[in-house]
Amino acid sequence: MAGFGSSEALIRRRSRRALAIVVAVALPCVLSLLAELTGDPGYQFFAALVACAEAVAFFLLPAMAPQGILTGERRGALRADRAGVWFRKKLALPRERIASVWAEEREDGRLWVHLSGERARDDLSIVVDDQKRMDALLEALDVRHDRHAASFVVASGPLRDPRLQRLARALVIAGGALVAALIVALAYRTALIGFALVPALGVYSMLVRRARLTTRLIVGTDGIVVRAGGSLRQISLASVTRATYAGPDGVVVEQGSESLVLRFVGAGAEAKADDFIERVEAGRARLDVRPDPVASLLASAARSTSEWLVELRRLRDAGAGYRGAAVPDEELWRVVESPALDARARAGALAALGPRIDDEGRVRIAQIAGATARRDVRAALDAAAAGETDAEILDAFSRERPPEADGTKRRG
């Protein structure tokens, strides 16, 4: 696979501006509050001194600070390959830590390719000249839509019960009112504290935005996985009727008579919503939902895993006789690689293939797992890629299988 390189690339890492502003505003406010509570005028002197020092630093920092310390933007040699993104000969973002990829157009017509990491501090953005260069970058990293399940962070508020949503809003308003009331009360004793009202509310709003509850969503070639309403939901793309926009940063996923509202958070939320819809529509376009007799045969109706395993072994083993003939390996591989088919059928095909999977087959399965969102199917794929037995493959699948998917309800 070809690599991607640039001798003078522009990248952007996580900015420290928000943290710097919070610290700069909070420190004088805390010292002033201590002066009021302790009655020691020395704290007021230190508060004024710190505020003056910060004002001077505000004007001198752009000239004194190293390049990109606040904006996070840096220039240098960049290379991308299957190992990850290398910047100035150091591994800036390993391939296995890339959670999702999305693009955003710049004012100069070039593109920001945003690589979201599993942790926020791993996020990395790269400027490319055009769509062709972006495709070359994604190909080098092997993170195209059909090869890589994307992970996004969404607000969990719209996924919770409406009563909990209203309670959360009321608590946020009450917290802001409490902060304002405290500062006003202290301002009656020391007028100087009154000037902290607006900065304090600004800091509070920043903290609220950062502290809001979120959850992680995964979309792959087979479906969508998200924790909604306290339980994990695995939605097959074959059951999705459409995905539409709900505002600039929101998406509504319609599944029959049900709908799921997703609100993307973080930088570039609108572009993330675009990428999510593009992935869903591309996945739905690749699905073949026609009845599949082989898949029906593999998705046994046996009640227990042990009974299912017995049927699969009888079906796999030579000697035909079982419902006509054994299923050829190429048909089993076709079921494994078909994201539209039933999850039990794909797991059954993996278990049937298990004893005959060689090293090349395990690499092939690992690539399929990288694009799979469903936790139960992915667990079976990971077990098969690790060379585990047919029984262990089915056990891994059953452990991650949602109880409601088999017609039972989750307890507790």
Give the dihedral sign, CA 128/132/133/138: positive
Task: Assess whether 227 and 331 both reside in one domain.
Answer: no
Q: Which of 399, 390, 368, 398 is nearest to 381 (CA)?
A: 368
Whole-number percent of the chain with pLDDT over 70? 87
Angle between helices 17-38 and 197-211 (to 10 degrees): 130
How far apart (Å, rounded) are the C-alpha atoms in residues 121 and 15?
9
Strands, sheet with 111-117, edge to edge from the N-terminal-most edge strand: 90-94, 84-87, 73-81, 4-12, 124-128, 111-117, 98-105
Is 353 found in the same domain as 321? yes
- Which two tokens mark 161? 């019960």
Check whether residue 267 and residue 246 sit in a common domain. yes
- Same structural domain, 223 and 322: no
Segment 247-259 shows an average pLDDT of 88
Gap between the Cα atoms of 383 and 397, Å rounded: 9
Average the pLDDT over 262-284 and give the result: 89
pLDDT band per the 50, 70, 90 thresholds, residue 349: very high
**Could you give the 3-state DSSP secondary structure of residue 242?**
strand
In a domain, 35, yes or no: no
In tens, the pLDDT along 64-79 reads 555 555 667 888 999 9
Weakest mean pLDDT among 8-17, 104-113, 190-199, 320-329: 320-329
DSSP 264: B
Distance CA 294, CA 328 (A): 10
The yes-or-no verdict on residue 406 having pLDDT over 60 is no
pLDDT at position 248 over 60: yes
Whether 132 is covered by a domain: the verdict is yes
- Considering the chain, what percentage of its residues have pLDDT values greater than 90? 28
pLDDT tens-digit readout, 198-224: 778 887 787 776 667 788 899 999 999
> Do 314 and 245 fall within a single domain?
no
Task: Kindly tell me if the per-residue pLDDT of 288 is higher than 90.
Answer: no
- Average pLDDT, integer, range 296-325: 71
Instruction: For residue 365, tell me if it sits in a domain.
Output: yes
Q: Give yes or no: residues 281 and 297 share one domain.
A: no
Identify which has the larger pLDDT, 1 or 228.
228
Tokens of 324: 């006509």
Give the pLDDT score at 410: 39
**Claim to verify: residue 100 and residue 232 sit in the same structural domain:** no
Residue 412 has a pLDDT of 34
Average of per-residue pLDDT across 17-32: 70
Q: How many Cβ atoms sit within 10 Å of the Cβ of residue 369?
A: 19
Task: Give how many domains the chain has, as a whole number.
Answer: 3
Q: What is the spatial distance between Cα 377 and Cα 222, in angstroms, rounded to a whole number?
A: 9
User: How many whole angstroms separate alpha carbon 366 and alpha carbon 373?
Assistant: 13
| CATH classification of the domain holding 128 | 2.30.29
Does 40 map to a domain? no
Mark which of 286, 315, 345 sits at the end of a domain.
Answer: 286
Is residue 193, in this structure, part of any structural domain at all? Answer: no
pTM given for the model: 0.71
- The answer to whether residue 27 is domain-embedded is no
CA distance 88 to 228: 41
Residues 270 and 319 grouped into a single domain: no
Query: What is the CATH number for 260?
Result: 2.30.29.30
Q: Do 335 and 392 fall within a single domain?
A: yes
Let me know if residue 22 belongs to a domain: no
Distance CA 235, CA 174 (A): 37
Q: Do 256 and 327 belong together in one domain?
A: no
Distances (CA, A) of 224 to 19, 145, 378: 33, 13, 13
Last residue of a domain, one of 263, 286, 309: 286
Residues 122 and 246 placed together within one structural domain of the fold: no
pLDDT of 409 reads: 40
Query: Based on C-alpha coordinates, what's the Rg of the chain?
Result: 27
Average pLDDT, the chain: 82
Report d(CA 185, CA 69) in Å as an integer. 38
Extract the tokens encoding 327.
């299923």
Helix, strand or coil for residue 64?
Answer: helix
Among residues 251, 269, 286, the one where a domain terminates is 286
What pLDDT band is residue 319 in, cutting at 50, 70 and 90? very low
Domain that holds residue 105: 4-13+72-144
- By mean pLDDT, which of 52-61, 256-265, 349-358 is the weakest? 52-61
How many helices (H) does the chain have, and how many strands (E)? Answer: 13, 14
Give tens-digit pLDDT for 81-130.
989 999 998 999 999 889 888 888 888 889 999 998 888 778 899 999 99
Same domain, 312 and 367: yes
Q: Is 48 inside a domain boundary?
A: no
What average pLDDT does range 375-400 have in this prediction?
92
- Burial class from Cβ neighbours inside 10 Å (0-12, 13-18, 19+) for residue 240 reads buried
